[in-house]
Structure 1
């Protein structure tokens, strides 16, 4: 692996300076691991829960246990997890179509959602979207400090009784804003419920197990090839929340009146359950990798968000590289230090759902996994790369050091 001696020296400085941050992350991981272990014990998980079912999948004890485990571990009264959910956006779409009816209004309180979800909502006039089904859409931007504008949300709810969903994107996505904390979202939830019966729906992707508690919501949705699958699950997604909202969402995953009662597991329950067990530890590795990247690149003179010592509740690190060439070089450095496809050279290209060229580095065991060290970015000003993941802190750190070497040649 090509890592310069200067970068190795800076890395040692970073580890020394971040010792306190690493200790705090370990404390969160221990707390969340105990929470997960308690859920496993309470559900009496045993080998029989890993047996596959076929056909309709009736009486699948493993599937039912996995549903309860995810709900318990994410602090909700009900939920389901399924290998048939192909992505985090798919999980969110299930929730949107389940909870919103013709004549309802969806209110996004974190501004405009990320690119691919815009197409699901129909912001740009897409067919077969939420809006095309007779739902109205409104949004409220975050404040200039990047915080939820709760007074504006309450005013919106009081002035428009058709608002039936308050939608929150916890993580930043392809944006440079700050990620919201669980406490901030809890305050929003309490405020909404004080004046309205609207559902609070949270895109929880990238945020699971980064803090000791998950945010309160009627629905939380996410992908298993991000935090919640612990790097073990190779596909799938989850939806958890209130019994009423989860039941409606389950009816969209399958069909009404069947909901969570059917769906063959095909032997895929074990990696989902095992991934949940690993998730607090794996997320801790990714968090350490992000803090390390922030400090190393700050020492190299690049803009970083969040800053190295800033508390964070997602695994995404934004690094402003300044130009196209450094952005491409960064991704090349990440790729060359990956366990899979290390010989591949990332090149920019166009992808469905995005207006700009996209470059990605992802030498992952699971295609598209962002709990594994990966980096991606739109090729546009200010040439910010969004990196996340790290199954192990050691491999994540080496990948960051390789990327730093690549852009400082």
Structure 2
């Protein structure tokens, strides 16, 4: 492994990095095999949709007859194994896409059962678990129930047998670990949950928050039993090119209902000006499988390097992965801060900024965040963040290319070493 001489990195870190790289050869080969499959699938999606220069033209006003918008939906539907997709630049976040899906499908009196415990923070306000409830599902008379994961963080299939019944309208699954240490869900596990749900409640809708999981495996949840899924274009599926946006994909009738919620009943997907954003969204989709593979390599390298220094990591460097998130348990607040400050130095944007913990609204502990991204908040670009509380774990994700992602990890280790916080 060659380290260019533009950054000061201690020889002991380079030595450990070289040892990590040697161990990772079979892991990278596995990642490359999946990336190759998904990149071929994406190229086939473009060919199937007949993408041409004319699809990049801007539309204004109502956006009637926007061929690019229709082709973009077709590309994502094919690549994600869905009947249909709703891909729009005016989804402001992944939470927004999930919210549109929830309100598009659920009706007053319906019951939503989350079988992966409490969803992440921003969706709790949507459901009505936090905040004043204004505009939430709860205010619209939609009931929420929850089945917690087992102590090891795995799905409670026995509990599902007791909790899922024909009165449940939606079985909700959060695929990613988010900011917890529980394992992320593989598509095969989601398929098993969907099979249980359909057996016990044949008319229920199985919906998946697929954020961080797109193109990590060869299949997506909607091609293996889930009815609907949603995510953000500034994570995996935007390939680091999409400047904003989100998607909903799955059964055609459900996607249409979601489109009615996003625009208006009766018009749905037929309106919505693209305003010249199509080129970047198409290009981001095309790059998405490769960029996701690079982020996976960055995560695996971080796991191998820091486990070599004696830190607990999850997933382990040699474990198969269900999303791009890597957690490293750094044990001390000083080590956590030093790690994030080092990652920031490896960013192409704002590398001169020194992240510090702060009292972020909605969290019960100070939070530190390291990110220097071309797109604000883009999780597919290298970033690291964590609340300052035990076990002082940091959650790392992204890396537009492995070469720069690897360097960001090395600079995190160097920052810890300089502050006397790196195990030796």
Deviations 1:245-277 (A, max 9, x none): 111111111111111110000010111111111
Measured in 2, the distance between the counterparts of 1:356 and 1:96 equals 30
Measured in 2, the distance between the counterparts of 1:155 and 1:31 equals 39
1:105-120 equivalent positions in 2, closer than 5 A:
105-120=111-126
Is 2:272 aligned against 1:263?
yes
Query: Does the CA-based 8 Å contact 1:373-1:391 persist in structure 2?
Result: yes
Is 2:142 aligned against 1:135?
yes
Alpha-carbon shift at residue 123 of structure 1 (Å):
1.2
Is 2:84 aligned against 1:78?
yes
2:103 maps to 97
Measured in 1, the distance between the counterparts of 2:172 and 2:241 equals 29
Is 2:232 aligned against 1:223?
yes
Deviations 1:210-246 (A, max 9, x none): 0110113211100000000001101000000101111
Q: Is the partner of 1:399 in helix, strand or coil? A: helix
Measured in 2, the distance between the counterparts of 1:132 and 1:353 equals 21
Q: Is the partner of 2:164 in helix, strand or coil? A: helix
Is 2:38 aligned against 1:29?
no
2:48 maps to 42
From 285, 292, 300, give the equivalent of 1:291.
300
Alpha-carbon shift at residue 125 of structure 1 (Å):
5.2
Alpha-carbon shift at residue 126 of structure 1 (Å):
3.1
Alpha-carbon shift at residue 79 of structure 1 (Å):
0.9
1:20 maps to 26
Runs of 4+ residues over 6 Å off in structure 1: none
Query: Does the CA-based 8 Å contact 2:154-2:182 persist in structure 1?
Result: no
2:17 maps to 11
1:376-391 equivalent positions in 2, closer than 5 A:
376-391=385-400
Query: Does the CA-based 8 Å contact 1:4-1:405 persist in structure 2?
Result: yes
Measured in 2, the distance between the counterparts of 1:92 and 1:355 equals 25
2:186 maps to 181
Paired residues, what number?
Answer: 407
Q: Is the partner of 2:328 in helix, strand or coil? A: strand
1:150-229 equivalent positions in 2, closer than 5 A:
150-158=157-165, 161-196=166-201, 197-216=203-222, 217-229=226-238
RMSD: 1.2
Measured in 2, the distance between the counterparts of 1:36 and 1:370 equals 21
Measured in 2, the distance between the counterparts of 1:191 and 1:101 equals 23
TM-score scaled by structure 1?
0.97
Measured in 1, the distance between the counterparts of 2:229 and 2:348 equals 32
Runs (5+) with no aligned partner, structure 2: 1-6, 419-424
Measured in 2, the distance between the counterparts of 1:138 and 1:408 equals 46
From 408, 411, 414, give the equivalent of 1:402.
411
Measured in 1, the distance between the counterparts of 2:231 and 2:258 equals 13
Measured in 2, the distance between the counterparts of 1:367 and 1:261 equals 29
